[in-house]
Structure 1
Amino acid sequence: MTREQERAAARRRAVKVDAKRAQKEREAQRNRQVAVVVIAVLAVVAGFVFLTAKLNNDTTPAAAPKATTPSATTPAVAGCSAPPAPPSAAAKVAKPDKATAAGKTFTAVVTTNCGDITLQLDGAKAPQTVASFVGLAKANYFADSPCHRITTEGIFVLQCGDPLGGTGTGPGYTYGIENAPKDGTYPKGTLAMARTTDPNSNADQFFVVYKDSKLPTDGGGYSIFGTVTGGMDIVEKIAAAGVSGGATDGAPAAPISILKVAVTEKKA
């Protein structure tokens, strides 16, 4: 082999070595790019999973307020004992005939874990509402039911009547508004029915006004069916303890539950 041929062979070997080196470099670069893409995809997937979990957590409805028992964080309220556990279900009751209360006056003694609250019910002005309240009381519907709401700003009411603490669907019937003030004025001591935006959704929930309040008149207002004649100090001390968690509308920080309701008709 001549010198020229040896030099040519050497050049060919060098070219092959360079080609192999270049091929390996290209493969290494491609592997690095694939790794970057994989890492980026994993990061996106992880971010998506985290965001989905976060959104699902943020949009989960909060649990409805339930009756609580006094604890180290519950304000001590003089005269109150630990409330009972609420019922696991609410009874269904037939709708009472308003004629059973029309033109009549009743006294209702609401025994709570904080003492007795006495009500006078006006069947002359709100016969269907009073007939319903009396019927539910006689059916023992209110037994062990927590008063699930207190408001301490704007309007001032203690709301009770649902055995399931505001999460129930009522006694199985509803009825319309009676004796609602057109100006939305509800003086201290007023006993009235709670409802949804539907004016025909009156059922079991009622409220006691513990400080003069102006309530919305949209939809027809709220049925006044009686007054508090005794035990307002109980409602006031529950209100003074505030709302659980420090809000202005929600479950009472100092739990109060209805143990039983006894109703008698007042004779002329």
Structure 2
Amino acid sequence: MAPSKREREYARKRQDKWDERRRAKQERNRRVAAVVAILAIFALVAGGAVVIGLTSDDEPQAGATSAATSAAGGCPEGATQARSGGDAAPDPSVAEDRTWTTDVELCVDGATETIGLELDGAAAPQAVASFVSLAQQGYFDGTQCHRLTTQGIYVLQCGDPTATGTGDPGYSFGPVENAPSDDVYPAGTLAMARQGGNAESMGSQFFLVYEDSTIPSDAAGGYTVFGTVTSGLDTIQAVADAGTTDGSGDGSPVSPVIIEGVETQ
């Protein structure tokens, strides 16, 4: 069935937003490259070393680092510093008891890929309200998907600005919402990460399931399922196929994955 006029208009507006964001990013990278080149010349003339610290002047979160694109045209360097998403979790009413359509723009091995998500504000209002609020602030922009598991449990974990697995937005929330009673998380599941045994420890970290996984519940229960992947799961599968940096079943992905932007509708 052909898309409706409304669907075509939404697709056009979404593409316009991505194009505008890409153009702005290219211009920032051009300015950064020019500054670096000038400083390098000064360093050579002076015969000494120059240590350069760059901070984006349009970053909305405190403590965020800029994402400088490599000269080889690869992905931006992922953020590694903590950033704030607020003093407290947003009210669940922000989710408006509805479905949210979300596009996540990723840079994977130097190429831009888009992952489509559908967020279920009715089933998991706390998690959706938090995710939407953080996305609208630009909290996820420039962050790395720091963890990949490839044995028994098959997930890519993202949302930590420190890329250590310990970062949070400055608040936490709970309890667990919409966890599967059989502990089975099908491929395409979008769920919240949390500390073991602590149902009130959810923050900004989430995981994407790329292959059916059984994740046992603990004392706190299961894991909040707040959405599904509607497109682009093959991109996550390709990252998983490349494995982890140390060859183990749980580590950083060999193929760096950087979130460049998140759009929610």
Both proteins in one fold, TM over 0.5: yes
1:109 aligned onto 2:110: no
Aligned equivalent of 2:157: 159
Q: Distance in 2 between matches of 1:166 and 1:105?
A: 31
Deviation at 1:168, TM superposition (A): 4.2
Out of 168, 171, 178, which is 2:169 matched to?
171
Contact 1:183 1:217 in 2 (8 A): no
Q: CA 1:126–1:140 in structure 2 vs 1: closer, same or farther (change >3 Å)?
A: same
Aligned equivalent of 2:246: 245
Cα deviation digits, residues 214-249 of structure 1 (max 9, x gap): 001112100000000011111000000001111110
**Bigger proportion of residues as helix:** 1
Give the length in aligned residue pairs.
Answer: 188
Q: Which runs of 4+ in 1 moved over 3 A?
A: none
Q: CA 1:167–1:208 in structure 2 vs 1: closer, same or farther (change >3 Å)?
A: closer
1:143 aligned onto 2:136: no
Contact 1:83 1:255 in 2 (8 A): no
Contact 1:121 1:227 in 2 (8 A): yes
Deviation at 1:164, TM superposition (A): 1.0
Residue correspondence of structure 1 range 122-141 to structure 2 within 5 A: 122-141=120-139
Residue correspondence of structure 1 range 214-225 to structure 2 within 5 A: 214-218=214-218, 219-225=220-226
Contact 1:90 1:168 in 2 (8 A): no
Aligned equivalent of 1:84: 77
Q: Distance in 2 between matches of 1:154 and 1:118?
A: 25
Q: Distance in 2 between matches of 1:100 and 1:85?
A: 29
Deviation at 1:183, TM superposition (A): 1.1
Aligned equivalent of 1:209: 209
Name the SS of the counterpart of 2:216 in structure 1: coil
Q: Identity percentage over the alignment?
A: 48
Q: Distance in 2 between matches of 1:210 and 1:81?
A: 24
Compare 107-116 and 119-128 and name the one that shifted more.
107-116
Q: Distance in 1 between matches of 2:210 and 2:204?
A: 20
Residue correspondence of structure 1 range 24-63 to structure 2 within 5 A: none
Name the SS of the counterpart of 1:143 in structure 2: coil
Q: Give 2:82's aligned amino acid.
A: A
Q: CA 1:217–1:102 in structure 2 vs 1: closer, same or farther (change >3 Å)?
A: farther
TM-score with structure 1 length normalisation? Answer: 0.67
Q: Give 1:131's aligned amino acid.
A: A
Deviation at 1:92, TM superposition (A): 3.6
Deviation at 1:87, TM superposition (A): 4.7
Name the SS of the counterpart of 1:252 in structure 2: coil
Aligned equivalent of 1:183: 182
Q: Distance in 2 between matches of 1:81 and 1:97?
A: 38
Name the SS of the counterpart of 1:237 in structure 2: helix
Higher relative CO (Cα under 8 Å, sequence separation at least 6) belongs to: 1
Aligned equivalent of 1:230: 231
Contact 1:171 1:203 in 2 (8 A): yes
Contact 2:245 2:251 in 1 (8 A): yes
Q: Distance in 2 between matches of 1:91 and 1:169?
A: 10
Q: Give 2:256's aligned amino acid.
A: P
Q: Distance in 2 between matches of 1:167 and 1:149?
A: 8
Q: Distance in 2 between matches of 1:97 and 1:128?
A: 7
Q: Give 1:140's aligned amino acid.
A: G
Name the SS of the counterpart of 2:131 in structure 1: helix
Contact 1:87 1:144 in 2 (8 A): no
Contact 2:82 2:167 in 1 (8 A): no
Q: Structure 1 regions of 5+ residues with no counterpart? A: 1-66, 71-79
Q: Give 1:189's aligned amino acid.
A: G
Aligned equivalent of 2:193: 194
Deviation at 1:167, TM superposition (A): 4.5
